[in-house]
Amino acid sequence: MAGPHPAVAATRLAVRRALRAPIGPGDTVLVACSGGADSLALAAALAFEAPKLGLTAEAVVVDHGLQDGSDAVAARAAEQCHALGLAARVIPVHVPAGADGPEAAAREVRYTALADAAGEAAAAGVLLGHTRDDQAETVLLGLARGSGPRAISGMPQVAHSRGVRWMRPLLDVARAETAAACAALGIEPWQDPHNSDPRYLRVRTRQALVDLERQIGPGVVAGLARSAALVRRDLDTLDEQADAIAARLGETPWPVDELSTLSPALRTRVWRSLLTTGGCPSAALGKVHLDGVDALVGQWRGQGPIHVPGALQVRRADGLIHLEPRAC
């Protein structure tokens, strides 16, 4: 007997690999579904794999309300998930005007809604439909912005934030494969008009990748995604080493002699670990703060305290680096 279409098999295998420990029988997992090909192919694969693994699977459709008829699109996506065998619900949200644009504002509201749904369901994880093409777009944007190695490492397969385990099973699956999987399963995905609107940076980036594949040759998308995985592996190793060093150094103050033996790339990560453990809000701790603190070791000229987030300051005295409340 013939097996499933190759694209269907690829999405199912990706989901099966994602649904491993610490997720196990009796757990609930959610899948975010927009009604597009990527998320519907993911939902179909989850609906097929979850029962075999003893999991409860549900779909969540977030209606951003940014387009006329978005409620009908969301309702149809929920109906399609129902037809696949998934319990599904629609969560309408309001997207406020944001300084970083509608894409960023919609993303923030969407993740908040998904995290709330995961909390209500006591879900062990939320599956997201990002593909290899999305990963390549993320890397290209990071390169264009000069955002540094962490940005060009792309999206992780698994991440933890907002109290949720976020999983991206399809990062090694091409966007064309999710479309082919939907076609093979008789699923008609929604074509989001925003995906062809050049006002959006992500759309322009997508077109740039098409042009690169045309001019350089096939494999650009796969190459960028592969590079992201390699960079992420190296960065994760550096972060693990930095955390171990920070744990050994312990609480403030810290000896300049020991810090000065570290390579700049490693020492920057050690600073981040030490400062956040010491009370600096991680989200507010930027490169300018880390560079200033590191100069107390590598470029010491008797400079005064460096102010860091959390109403704290870092100063050097008697061969030691002190993290302390900021002087009034």
Please report, in range form, the residues annotated as the binding site for ATP. Answer: 34-39
**Token digits of residue 36:** 């597009």
Which residue has 């107390």 as its token pair?
A: 296
* Phi, psi angles (nearest 5°) of residue 192: -70, 120
User: Residues marked as binding?
Assistant: 34-39
